[in-house]
Structure 1
Amino acid sequence: MRKSFKMMAAAVMVLATAMVAMVLTSQNSAADTGSADSGSISWIMVSSALVFAMVPGLAFFYGGMLRRQSMSSMIAQTLAAISIMSISWIAVGYSLAFGSDGVIIGNLQHLFFGGLTEEASGGAISTLEFATFQMMFAIVTAALVLGACAERIRFNAIVWFLIMWSVLVYAPMAHWVWGGGWFDQFLTVLDFAGGTVVHICAGVTGLALCIFVGPRLSGTRKARAHSIPFAFLGAMLLWIGWFGFNGGSSALADGTAVHAFFTTQAAGACGMAAWAIVQYIKVGRVGVLGLIAGGISGLVAITPGAAYVGFVESMVIGAVGGALCFMAVRIIRSKTKFDDALDVFGVHGVGGIWGAISTGIFAKSSLAGVDGLIYGGVDLFVGQIVAVLATIVFCFAMSYAIIWLISKFMKVRIPEDEESIGQDIVEHGEPAYL
């Protein structure tokens, strides 16, 4: 275990070094070719790498919180998400999301990234760079879903689910919010970096899956996290990646990126503090996993409004997000039969809902171009609520329908005896530890 921990720490250092080198190389190259905005091109390239780094972060974060016999299976499912979402996004997903300003969905003009260019034209970054950045969001969203239904859905069922979900759920959601779809055409909606598209969508999708397949065995549910260090390092990779996730969503290396970078840190820190305080009041102690969950709750909450709210407001949003997500997780675990294995809906779903609504409350016209509720604006507040409700209904209904359809052609749920043994051995034949 100690050797694995050292290897993970070394990987983080290598990643940081590589990203610094990428910035320097990109800036020098852009300067040599006379590019109009080498800083923005470099920043979005680095941001894309940062967002992608969240995916292995999720594998370690999720895997560390599960039993030791589930580590390899979580890594395998995460790798599947990388492959499936990348291929789907290149082949058809990007075109459906950004191909036109249709009300419901885009068109097929950019199949296999057709028509995209490497050179910036009339903007700070090229269409190919923008599409690549957005591809990382698609991968992360799919990977987030995996934590809700961990340890009980067959690998082949997950593969087929993600293939269908990438086209039928994620692409339409991205189009509605960022591609000129009906959210943009008929509502006043702001989602800077993916409160609805990423977090609510992933949380609700995960909830649909865990409801469909039912809870794990009692012994599996009660098992303790097998590696707190892996969970910690994975969570810190997520936090580091969030700076690219939110900061890169400006698509420029500008003041908006700086603003989003700061509010991301402030909200994450306040979310962690709030979760810790509430946990201490309710339970009498504060754990590492609680501190991690609180930080992520704050990061989720600020995502849709990172560039649209002030500094103090970002701290409030993060703090409320941490406290709210703690209570949501507590209620889901104790008052319902839902086995959301790694609290995907409790943190990402509830945190995303709060984040979207809080954007409608705290947004400033000087930052967002429209005022939130406390500054006298009503349209944005109403639009955010409608967008949240539409996202919940659409993502749940479509995701449930997809897994139901798949169940008609293959077994989705792992048998109880195989669940006890663990998917590492049963499905992959590769235990994470010897």
Structure 2
Amino acid sequence: MEEAIVAADTAWILAAFAAVSLMVPGLAMFYGGMVSAKNTLNMAMMTFGAFAVVGILWVLFGYSAVLGNSLGGAGLLGDPLEALGLASMLTAPEVPALPPALVAGFQLLFAAITVALISGAVADRMKFGAWMVFAGVWATLVYFPVAHWVFAFDSADGSITGGWIANKLAAVDFAGGTAVHVNAGVAALALVLVLGKRGNFANPPRPHSLPLTMLGAGILLFGWFGFNGGSALSAGNSAAVVVLNTLAAACAGICAWLLVEKLREGHATSLGASSGLISALVGITPACGAVSPMGALLIGGAAGALCCLAVSIKFRLGYDDSLDVVGIHMVGGILGTLLIGFIADPKAPNGVAGLLYGGGVDLLWRQTVAVVAVLAYSFIVTWLIAKALDKTMGLRVHHEKEAEGLDVAVHGESAYAMETIPVASVPVAEAEAVEAAEAITTDAVEAPVR
């Protein structure tokens, strides 16, 4: 019976792993549609580039640094030499258990996606080489330590010591509200403060393909079921509750963002629906195992509404977060993590009680400490990394390349090959159709500005 249960759990995590892997192209589409046509490929390349660099580092030492036995028992960083090169992943466990190689691959995707999220903040203006170096250094110095704090749990027999947030502080973060979203969001803020604003920040380009962005958002939703549900590490009731809560929050987030957008701007947009979806998914990520479905609706709705308001702050404060990584991932991650302290339901899989369920402020202060610690560490170290890279290799492309577009200037490619067709050689109706098709790739498309 035990072997059958482990086999079922393994099959579920394999399915979740496949779903999460689709988040890589999903993020590339989501970001790629929101920039101008001349920077679409660059955004996709930043996503895939981060995925590749982090994946290599994960195999070499990242897995050990995150999930290895904590150095000195301090809960700050796993021993990076413990499973160097992951050679130990080749041997099956002596007793029925999830294959270590599966856990390693699943967590690799978490690391890669976290780094890739940051790229949306620096769209249109960062050197690709500098981004690749930043991705590797940031993963090593920021993501790996923070992920150890949050995801590494002490072993039952006490032979392995995990991270301080997961064990000593005992804060709740089911699938990465702090390690993934708060971490990436505040890192994005630090990076753009060093990088500076785009030349057209006051009048930024409009999204060139909202259908591409909506498709990317839909793929991300699919992947998020694996991201959150797979974090249960079993095929039981916990995974089912987590998936239900994730879906409920997503629905509420879309509606809340659209409502706020309609009241403020007079329109409910497709970009708003996509953004509301992602905001809600960010908010529910840490809380999906701690709240009821009604709590999930509350978190999703609150995230959709608050993030809709937060994305406009960048224009007042003057920082150029191109695709609202700060306004969605940092704000949504903080909100979802803190709301656990209020509405955590003891009947949910995490089995903890928030303030409104008779738990007092005990859980709330733990959640607050976790958020503040990640915010402070990630911002300071990211700013130092960005400053060091800026002084050595430079972060910013030349203004001429920025104006030309990074697809051609950096990668020597164009996302769309719009061949010129002589108007005189085709009927008037067809000529008008060609002109209309060419027009959709320009920056003058009537769509919300990000």
- Could you state the TM-score of these two structures normalised by the residue count of structure 2? 0.86
Residue 145 of structure 2 aligns with which residue? 172
SS in 2 for 1:146: helix
- Kindly indicate whether residue 398 of structure 2 is the aligned counterpart of residue 411 of structure 1: no
User: Per-residue deviation at 1:120?
Assistant: 4.6
Residue 105 of structure 1 aligns with which residue? 77
Cα-to-partner distance string for 1:51-93 (whole Å, 9 max, x where unaligned): 1111111111101000000011112111211110110111111
Residue 127 of structure 1 aligns with which residue? 100
User: Per-residue deviation at 1:130?
Assistant: 0.8
Residue 329 of structure 1 aligns with which residue? 311
Residue 181 of structure 1 aligns with which residue? 163
User: Per-residue deviation at 1:316?
Assistant: 0.5
1: CA distance, partners of 2:84 / 2:257: 44
Task: Indicate conservation of the 8 Å contact 2:290/2:352, yes or no.
Answer: no
1: CA distance, partners of 2:117 / 2:95: 34
2: CA distance, partners of 1:297 / 1:219: 23
2: CA distance, partners of 1:249 / 1:183: 17
- Return the match for 2:325 from 308, 331, 344: 344
Cα-to-partner distance string for 1:3-59 (whole Å, 9 max, x where unaligned): xxxxxxxxxxxxxxxxxxxxxxxxxxxx9xx75522211111111111111111111
Task: Indicate conservation of the 8 Å contact 1:119/1:126, yes or no.
Answer: yes
User: Per-residue deviation at 1:397?
Assistant: 0.7
- Kindly indicate whether residue 30 of structure 2 is the aligned counterpart of residue 61 of structure 1: yes
* Change over 3 Å in CA distance of 1:332–1:273 after alignment to 2: same
Residue 442 of structure 2 aligns with which residue? none
Q: Which amino acid aligns with 1:384?
A: Q
282-291 or 376-385, larger mean C-alpha shift: 376-385
2: CA distance, partners of 1:118 / 1:361: 44
Task: Indicate conservation of the 8 Å contact 2:201/2:320, yes or no.
Answer: no
Q: Which amino acid aligns with 2:165?
A: F
- Consecutive unaligned residues of structure 1, counting only runs of 5 or more, are 1-30
* Change over 3 Å in CA distance of 1:398–1:366 after alignment to 2: same
Task: Indicate conservation of the 8 Å contact 1:51/1:140, yes or no.
Answer: no
2: CA distance, partners of 1:361 / 1:114: 44
Residue 358 of structure 2 aligns with which residue? 376
- Could you state the TM-score of these two structures normalised by the residue count of structure 1? 0.90
- Return the match for 1:388 from 364, 371, 385: 371
1: CA distance, partners of 2:249 / 2:52: 32
Residue 158 of structure 2 aligns with which residue? none
* Change over 3 Å in CA distance of 1:294–1:118 after alignment to 2: farther
Residue 142 of structure 1 aligns with which residue? 115
264-273 or 118-127, larger mean C-alpha shift: 118-127
Aligned length: 401
User: Per-residue deviation at 1:116?
Assistant: 2.8
- Return the match for 1:355 from 336, 360, 364: 336
- Kindly indicate whether residue 125 of structure 2 is the aligned counterpart of residue 152 of structure 1: yes
Q: Which amino acid aligns with 2:128?
A: F
Cα-to-partner distance string for 1:126-151 (whole Å, 9 max, x where unaligned): 11111111011011111111001111
Cα-to-partner distance string for 1:166-224 (whole Å, 9 max, x where unaligned): 11001001100111212134313011000001101111111111111111012785211
1:276-287 map, 5 Å: 276-287=258-269
Q: Which amino acid aligns with 1:166?
A: A
2: CA distance, partners of 1:120 / 1:220: 57
Task: Indicate conservation of the 8 Å contact 1:64/1:231, yes or no.
Answer: yes
* Change over 3 Å in CA distance of 1:36–1:415 after alignment to 2: same
Residue 223 of structure 1 aligns with which residue? 205
- Return the match for 2:16 from 44, 47, 51: 47
Task: Indicate conservation of the 8 Å contact 1:313/1:362, yes or no.
Answer: yes
Percent sequence identity is 40
- Kindly indicate whether residue 212 of structure 2 is the aligned counterpart of residue 200 of structure 1: no
Q: Hey, which of these two has a bigger chunk of helix by percent?
A: 1
- Kindly indicate whether residue 285 of structure 2 is the aligned counterpart of residue 303 of structure 1: yes
Q: Which amino acid aligns with 2:370?
A: A
Task: Indicate conservation of the 8 Å contact 1:124/1:251, yes or no.
Answer: no
Cα-to-partner distance string for 1:108-130 (whole Å, 9 max, x where unaligned): 21111142355355554111111
Task: Indicate conservation of the 8 Å contact 1:325/1:346, yes or no.
Answer: yes
* Change over 3 Å in CA distance of 1:118–1:48 after alignment to 2: farther
2: CA distance, partners of 1:361 / 1:130: 31
Kindly report the root-mean-square deviation, in angstroms, between the aligned alpha carbons of the 2 structures: 1.6
Structure whose CA Rg is larger: 2
2: CA distance, partners of 1:220 / 1:415: 19
* Change over 3 Å in CA distance of 1:414–1:124 after alignment to 2: same
* Change over 3 Å in CA distance of 1:174–1:292 after alignment to 2: same
2: CA distance, partners of 1:213 / 1:282: 31
2: CA distance, partners of 1:67 / 1:88: 32
Residue 82 of structure 1 aligns with which residue? 51
* Change over 3 Å in CA distance of 1:290–1:36 after alignment to 2: closer
* Change over 3 Å in CA distance of 1:178–1:122 after alignment to 2: farther
Task: Write out the 4+ residue segments of structure 1 that deviate beyond 4 Å after TM superposition.
Answer: 120-124
Task: Indicate conservation of the 8 Å contact 2:225/2:246, yes or no.
Answer: yes
* Change over 3 Å in CA distance of 1:250–1:329 after alignment to 2: same
- Consecutive unaligned residues of structure 2, counting only runs of 5 or more, are 153-161, 418-450
SS in 1 for 2:120: coil
